[in-house]
């Protein structure tokens, strides 16, 4: 399918994508391998390009002399390809094993030219959008890490928790901080200390060891911002009377803004238009006629068209006065 004239007229050089393929001939080169590459022209891309389901690798290449003026011999373009990685030399060595000194002579080169809007959708990542969100986090400078020393005392015939030497004091805590109750003193045996909320029930704590024994501790980390206000410490055996309330405060906070790329959908899509594997400018088919230059940096070939192989000139037939003796005057 040809590109519509209306689109051809609106094209610029940068909108044309140039793709190349070199196909070996089994009889000459012992293989029919196809090497596909692109120069980056049109997309200024270092990535591979997928066209008609085939992958064209980004490869430094200069193709010159394809222009045709409409008369005389057909052009003999030159193709200069990077040889830094030895890719082209390796191809020539493969060919020369079948035909000595062949140097890819007779290999078919096709120059494809299409536009970005017709490239396969697989070339393009799913469309994304930037999502910005703001969250409130605890200011690290206002995070507490406090340890309370807990013993059990009998006051007036009633057992109570004594914390840091104070009888069942009201404690003050901040959401987002961590509080450790050291319950290793032997008086804590049989008096499990826990945290509860009148509205929310038992609060999550970390219990290490066995109360009343060395290393025993109960760790409470009221979450920010969800920890309830009506919190107290108590004994699971003897109830609330052994403990007291905890005043819960909010810490200092910071506003943090984050941005992230989120896929609008999970489908690859060509943002320039609708892919079409058959829409391209007329293919230009040439054959490698000879190697002009080879060194560590580049390999240069001279190309020849199929018509030129037959020594055909264009136009193939020239019209003269003798062909139309009675029509007008030729100047």
**DSSP structural state of residue 283:** P
Shared-domain flag, residues 233 and 285: no
Beta-strand pair 145-155/178-182:
parallel
Q: What is the mean pLDDT of residues 135-147?
A: 94
pLDDT greater than 80 at residue 40: no
Same domain, 70 and 172: no
Q: Is residue 9 part of a domain?
A: yes
Q: Which domain-ending residue is among 212, 229, 255? A: 255
- Whether 295 maps to a domain, the answer reads yes
Task: State whether 92 and 161 are in the same domain.
Answer: no
What CATH number does residue 191 fall under? 2.60.40.420
E strand or H helix at 202, and its extent?
strand 201-202
Owning domain of residue 237: 138-255
Distance between CA atoms of 72 and 316, rounded to whole angstroms?
9
Shared-domain flag, residues 248 and 271: no
Which residue in this structure is represented by tokens 């901040």? 174
| Residues 110, 199 within the same domain | no
Residue 12 has pLDDT above 50, yes or no: no
- Report how far apart, in Å, the C-alpha atoms of 91 and of each of 23, 263, 321, 323 are: 11, 42, 52, 50
Residue 321 lies in a domain: no
Q: Per the omega criterion (within 30 degrees of 0), is the bond before 315 cis? A: yes
Residue 179 contacts residue 141 (beta carbons within 8 Å): no
Assigned domain for 153 exists: yes
Within a domain: 221: yes
Q: Which residues contact 293 (CB under 8 A, 6 or more apart)?
A: 80, 299, 300
Please tell me whether residues 204 and 112 are part of one structural domain. Answer: no
Residue 221 has pLDDT above 90, yes or no: yes
Mean pLDDT of the chain: 83
CA gap 100, 94 in Å, rounded: 10
What was the pLDDT predicted at 6? 41
Look at residue 299 and tell me if it is in a domain.
Answer: yes
pLDDT tens column, 124-139: 766 677 889 899 999 9
- 45 & 147 share domain: no
Question: In this structure, are 198 and 146 located in the same domain?
Answer: yes
Q: Which residue has the higher pLDDT, 196 or 295?
A: 196
Name, in order, each residue with C-beta under 8 angstroms of 176's C-beta and a sequence gap of 6 or more. Answer: 138, 142, 143, 222, 223, 224, 251
Contact 253, 139 (CB under 8 A): yes
Same domain for 247 and 156?
yes
- What pLDDT is attached to residue 83? 84
Question: What is the dihedral angle through the alpha carbons of 252, 254, 255, 260, rounded to the nearest 10 degrees?
Answer: -140
Q: Are residues 79 and 59 in the same domain?
A: yes
- 261 domain-assigned: no
How many domains does one find in the chain? 2
- Tell me which residue of 309, 274, 266, 273 sits closest to 290, measured CA to CA: 309
Per the domain annotation, does 131 fall within a domain?
no
Distance set, CA 196 to CA 124, 162, 179, 245 (Å): 55, 18, 14, 10
273 φ/ψ sector (left φ>0, alpha ψ -120 to 50, else beta): left
Cβ–Cβ < 8 Å for 107, 98: no
Degrees to nearest 5, angle at CA 58 with 125 and 260: 25
pTM of the model: 0.50
Are residues 184 and 243 located together in one domain of the fold?
yes
Same domain membership, residue 302 and residue 218: no
Stretch among 25-39, 121-135, 183-197, 310-324 having the lowest mean pLDDT: 310-324
């Amino acid at each position: 399918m040809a590109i519509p004239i209306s689109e051809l007229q609106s094209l610029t050089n940068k909108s044309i994508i140039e793709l190349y393929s070199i196909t070996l001939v089994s009889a000459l080169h012992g293989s029919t391998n196809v090497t596909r590459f692109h120069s980056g022209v049109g997309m200024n891309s270092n990535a591979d390009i997928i066209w008609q389901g085939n992958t064209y690798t980004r490869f430094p290449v200069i193709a010159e002399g394809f222009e045709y003026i409409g008369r005389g011999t057909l052009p003999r373009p030159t193709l200069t390809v990077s040889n830094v990685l030895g890719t082209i030399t390796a191809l020539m060595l493969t060919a020369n094993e079948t035909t000595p000194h062949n140097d890819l002579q007779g290999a078919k080169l096709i120059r494809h030219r299409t536009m970005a809007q017709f490239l396969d959708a697989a070339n393009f990542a799913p469309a994304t959008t930037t999502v910005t969100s703001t969250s409130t986090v605890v200011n690290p400078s206002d995070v507490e890490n406090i340890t309370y020393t807990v013993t059990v005392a009998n006051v007036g015939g009633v057992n109570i928790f004594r914390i840091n030497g104070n009888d069942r004091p009201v404690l003050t805590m901040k959401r987002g901080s961590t509080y450790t109750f050291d319950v290793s003193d032997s008086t804590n045996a049989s008096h499990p200390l826990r945290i509860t909320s009148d509205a929310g029930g038992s609060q999550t704590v970390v219990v290490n060891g066995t109360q009343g024994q060395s290393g025993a501790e109960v760790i409470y980390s009221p979450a920010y911002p969800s920890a309830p206000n009506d919190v107290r410490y108590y004994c699971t055996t003897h109830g609330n009377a052994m403990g007291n309330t905890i005043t819960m405060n909010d810490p200092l906070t910071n506003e943090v803004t984050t941005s992230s790329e989120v896929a609008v959908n999970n489908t690859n899509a060509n943002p320039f238009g609708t892919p079409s594997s058959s829409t391209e400018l007329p293919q230009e088919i040439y054959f490698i006629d000879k190697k002009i230059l080879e060194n560590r940096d580049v390999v240069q070939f001279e190309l020849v068209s199929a018509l030129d192989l037959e020594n055909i000139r264009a136009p193939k037939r020239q019209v003269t006065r003798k062909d139309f003796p009675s029509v007008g005057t030729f100047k």
